[in-house]
């Protein structure tokens, strides 16, 4: 069964490792849907988070190939149901929207979003949540696009 898997990899901070890891996927013609790399909670240890669509059998083998890399400390995989997915979405809306007054403010409050910055031309609001929620806010803000 093809579904989404999240692969978490903890590594040393070693030069070229990102390349070594992606080679494992490209060689097997697996498309990486998303990829983030950053330092983890442990200083000096990096965390890679990759999302791919595949079958569990294949993912298991991939994770073993990743763990085999000399500079990889540990690799895990999860199915979507086991992971907490949060998207962070940024919306850029014309500053005119603010002048609409309360409607726009309420919209932000109802969606638990927040105002990041107000420039003379545009406003940026931020929303964290599941994909449906960020999409919902996107739809709601369209009313203010032309304003």
Partner 1 sequence: METLTKTVGAESKMTQTMTGAEAVIQSLLAEDVDTVFGYPGGAIMPIYDALFDYQHFINHVLVRHEQGATHAAQGFARVSGKVGVCFATSGPGATNLITGLADAMIDSNPLVCITGQVASHLLGTDAFQETDVLGVSMAVTKWNCQVTKAEDIPGAIAKAFYIARSGRPGPVLIDITKDAQFGQLEFSYEPCEMIRSYVPRQKLDMERAKEAAELINSAKKPFLLVGQGVILAQAEQEVLNLVEKADIPFAWTLMGLSAMPTDHELNMGMLGMHGNYAPNLKTNECDVLIAVGMRFDDRVTGDVSKYAKQAKVIHIEIDPAEIDKIIPADVPLVADAKEAVCALNELVLPNKHTDWINSFRETAAIEVEKVITQDLFPQKEGMTMGEVVRNVSQKLNGDGVLVTDVGQHQMAASRYFQFNKTRSNVTSGGLGTMGFALPAALGAKLGCPEREVVAVIGDGGFQMTLQELATIFQTNAAVKILILNNNFLGMVRQWQQLFFEKRYSFTEMVNPDFVKISEAYRIPALKVERRENLDEGINAMLESEGPFLLEVIVEKEDNVFPMVPTGASVSDIRLE
Residues lying near partner 1 in the complex (CB under 8 A): 11-12, 14-16, 19-20, 23, 27, 60-61, 64-65, 67-68, 70-73
Nearby residues of 43 by Cβ (< 8 Å), 6 or more positions away: none
**Smallest separation, CB 42 to partner 1 (Å):** 11
Least Å distance, CB 82 to partner 1, is 22
Q: Helix (H, G, I), strand (E, B), or coil: what is residue 73? A: strand
For partner 1, the closer CB: 27 or 102: 27
Q: What is the chain's length?
A: 147
Which residue's CB is nearer to partner 1, number 57 or number 81? 57
Nearest approach in angstroms of CB 73 to partner 1 is: 5
Contact present, 117 and 124 (Cβ < 8 Å): yes
Structure tokens at 97: 């929207």
Q: Please report how close the Cβ of residue 59 comes to partner 1 at its closest, in angstroms.
A: 13
Half-sphere exposure of 73 (CA within 13 A, CB side): 14
Closest by alpha carbon to 91, among 111, 67, 77?
111
Closer by beta carbon to partner 1, 16 or else 146: 16
- Specify the residue, 66 or 137, whose C-beta has the smaller distance to partner 1: 66
């Amino acid at each position: 069964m093809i579904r989404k898997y999240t692969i978490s990899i903890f590594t040393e901070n070693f030069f070229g490792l990102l390349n070594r890891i992606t080679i494992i996927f490209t060689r097997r013609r697996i498309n990486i849907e998303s990829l983030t790399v950053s330092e983890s909670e442990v200083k000096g240890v990096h965390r890679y988070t990759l999302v791919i669509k595949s079958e569990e059998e294949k993912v298991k083998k991939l994770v073993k190939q990743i763990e085999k890399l000399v500079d990889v400390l540990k690799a895990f995989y999860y199915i979507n149901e086991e992971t907490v997915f949060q998207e962070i979405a940024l919306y850029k809306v014309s500053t005119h929207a603010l002048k609409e007054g309360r409607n726009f403010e309420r919209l932000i409050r109802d969606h638990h979003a927040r105002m990041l910055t107000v420039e003379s031309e545009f406003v940026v609001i931020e929303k964290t949540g599941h994909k449906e929620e960020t999409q919902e806010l996107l739809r709601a803000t369209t009313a203010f696009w032309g304003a």
